[in-house]
Structure 1
Amino acid sequence: MCRWLAYSGSPILLEELLYKPEHSLIDQSMHARLGVGTTNGDGFGVGWYTPDGPDEPTLFRGTGPAWGDENLRELAHSVRSGLFLAHIRASTGTPVQQTNCHPFRYGRWLWLHNGRIRGYPELKRALMLAVDPMLFPRIGGSTDSELMFYLALTFGLERDPVGAVERMVGWVEQTGQRFGIDHPVQMTIATCDGDRLWAFRYSSEHNSRSLYCSTAVDTLRTMYPDNPVLQRVSDDTRIVVSEPLGGLVGAWQPVAESSYELVTPGLDVVGPFEPDHAQPCDV
């Protein structure tokens, strides 16, 4: 599978999370502890927003292992952002190529995924046919992850993010049922629009891959008053991760099974995630 992180809060250098923590994302590319495999070396990517940058987020993706990419290290040492997503990939069968590396981008939106659609080769054509014809030409790679993104866009991601992902998952599960595929969806997902960040944890068998959210900063400051990092970031800073970046006791809270979290300045929302199995389109 893969490992990922999503950050929202005070602007920081990317290296503060990609490289510096005890169990940083780069360390997880070699020594993942909670994933299906320990090594995630089939490419990487980071997407970030800056207040004075372009309307679209910037992407940097590579096909080699993240641990050995000097350009990634240089970029992480100089780029500062208050909202970014990062991903290290372990392919589930699709080729190692740049267009298959996460995050994926559409306009202001970024998307990344850990997991898979079980039976994807059998389901791919039927799922592809549900994508809005105006969106279809934008699909650049061959992964189930990118297809899930464009299905979510088709079902209204820009208007209703939670509802669109619920409709997307419901459609994949319906299609899997038609093809005799049991438990087709395994996912943790992060997506953002430049202001808000959503994280989802769900699987058809209700045994989803790990996902954690950082504890509220004001609580951590009380627990660790001498920690300099906690003094530098705002109260609304949050990090969502596939697995904790360090061993600070109380710093990470598991995201509940079949749930979503919305992170936005001044507001955190946690809610249940329920796939919508109403027929979304006539395919």
Structure 2
Amino acid sequence: MCRWAAYRGEPLFIEELVSSPAHSLIEQSVCATRAKTSTNADGFGIAWYGDRPEPGRFRDVLPAWSDCNLKSIARQIRSPLFLAHVRAATHGATRRDNCHPFVHGTWSFMHNGQIDHFDRLRRAMEGMLDDEYFNARTGSTDSELLFLLAMQFGMKQRPVAAMAEAVGFAERLSLELVGTARVRFTAAFSDGNTLYAVRYSTDAFAPTLYAGPMGTSGGHCLVSEPLTDDGDAWTEIPPGSAVMLNDKGLTVTVFQPQSKLDVAREASVGIAEMAG
């Protein structure tokens, strides 16, 4: 599973999450402690917001620990909002356009998790995209496709609801085509103003998500696992949650796509109506 870290607050050097802490994101790329896969060596990426509305982005296929450019860039770039990711590939080859974060317009997105049976769902999922979002797809991962589906479903106007629709659509499609569904989804996304995150899984094993204060001016970071050994500084976000971080602070609400039970009930009702 991948590892990621995101920050929003007063401008902060990216190295404060990526390379400086004792359990920095680069350290997690070598030895993650709260993931099924301890090594995340299939590329990395950062997306940051500055003076322009669109995020800057740097991605590569090297392991994060072996790329000197990443440490140099992280030391020099200071941003009020940025996303950083180290990848352990599940779907999609190890190539630059499969590395997170993904961007479209002012939006950025990164993900830890997977869609089971994605190879059987991919064509139908891509068929939901109009030309704008289909042509924006450059890689082959389930993560990028979920991001573009959320954009298709209206993420610009209602970010969390659109993401819930995208995840729910993947679950329903999997039930219809495969007979089972499992989506594991812990993600961060932003429009450059608000930082959002979601922790969710169809089963009981949602990838981890923690929140903690960063710096001395009220900033917060959201991470796959704590950056330090100070347990009191980190709050675990419970499964089935959506996080929103803006000028008003950090809020946590319920995240619940349409469940498998709801889909089964709908199917039963539909069959009953047809029989009637």
Q: TM-score, normalised by structure 1?
A: 0.89
> Displacement of 1:162 after TM fit?
1.0
Structure 1: which amino acid aligns with 2:39? Answer: T
The answer for the alignment partner of 1:234 in structure 2 is: 217
Question: Does residue 1:196 correspond to 2:178, yes or no?
Answer: no
The answer for the alignment partner of 2:105 in structure 1 is: 107
The alignment partner of 1:250 has SS state of helix
Equivalence map 1:158-177=2 (5 Å): 158-177=156-175
The alignment partner of 1:27 has SS state of helix
- Tell me the C-alpha RMSD between the 2 structures: 1.5
Q: How far apart are the structure 1 equivalents of 2:252 and 2:89?
A: 30
Q: Which has the higher helix share?
A: 2
> Displacement of 1:181 after TM fit?
4.6
Whether the aligned pair in 2 keeps the contact of 1:261 and 1:271 (CA below 8 Å) is yes
Structure 1: which amino acid aligns with 2:217? Answer: S
Question: Does residue 1:258 correspond to 2:251, yes or no?
Answer: no
Deviations 1:61-85 (A, max 9, x none): 0011000101111111111111000
The answer for the alignment partner of 2:46 in structure 1 is: 46
Give me the identity figure in percent. 41
The alignment partner of 1:208 has SS state of coil
Whether the aligned pair in 1 keeps the contact of 2:28 and 2:39 (CA below 8 Å) is yes
Q: How far apart are the structure 1 equivalents of 2:163 and 2:211?
A: 20
> Displacement of 1:94 after TM fit?
1.4
Q: How far apart are the structure 1 equivalents of 2:200 and 2:191?
A: 21
The answer for the alignment partner of 1:244 in structure 2 is: 226
Q: How far apart are the structure 2 equivalents of 1:253 and 1:12?
A: 21
The alignment partner of 1:134 has SS state of helix
The answer for the alignment partner of 2:177 in structure 1 is: 179
The answer for the alignment partner of 1:25 in structure 2 is: 25
Q: How far apart are the structure 1 equivalents of 2:231 and 2:64?
A: 27
Q: How far apart are the structure 2 equivalents of 1:38 and 1:195?
A: 32
Deviations 1:195-214 (A, max 9, x none): 00100000111320111011
Equivalence map 1:1-283=2 (5 Å): 1-50=1-50, 52=51, 54-215=52-213, 230=215, 233-235=216-218, 237-276=219-258
Q: How far apart are the structure 1 equivalents of 2:5 and 2:149?
A: 22
> Displacement of 1:12 after TM fit?
1.2
Gaps of 5+ in 1: 218-229
Gaps of 5+ in 2: 264-276
**How many residues get paired?**
261
> Displacement of 1:179 after TM fit?
1.5
> Displacement of 1:234 after TM fit?
1.1
The alignment partner of 1:274 has SS state of coil
Whether the aligned pair in 2 keeps the contact of 1:260 and 1:270 (CA below 8 Å) is yes
Q: How far apart are the structure 2 equivalents of 1:255 and 1:187?
A: 13
Q: How far apart are the structure 2 equivalents of 1:58 and 1:262?
A: 22
Q: How far apart are the structure 2 equivalents of 1:206 and 1:271?
A: 18
Q: How far apart are the structure 2 equivalents of 1:261 and 1:199?
A: 5
Greater mean deviation of Cα atoms: 123-132 or 146-155:
123-132
> Displacement of 1:182 after TM fit?
2.4
Q: How far apart are the structure 2 equivalents of 1:104 and 1:181?
A: 30
Q: How far apart are the structure 1 equivalents of 2:34 and 2:179?
A: 26
Structure 2: which amino acid aligns with 1:118? Answer: D
Deviations 1:27-60 (A, max 9, x none): 000000011111000000000001x2x3210000
Deviations 1:217-247 (A, max 9, x none): 7xxxxxxxxxxxx4xx312x11000000011
Structure 1: which amino acid aligns with 2:224? Answer: S
Whether the aligned pair in 1 keeps the contact of 2:91 and 2:142 (CA below 8 Å) is no
Q: How far apart are the structure 1 equivalents of 2:12 and 2:248?
A: 18
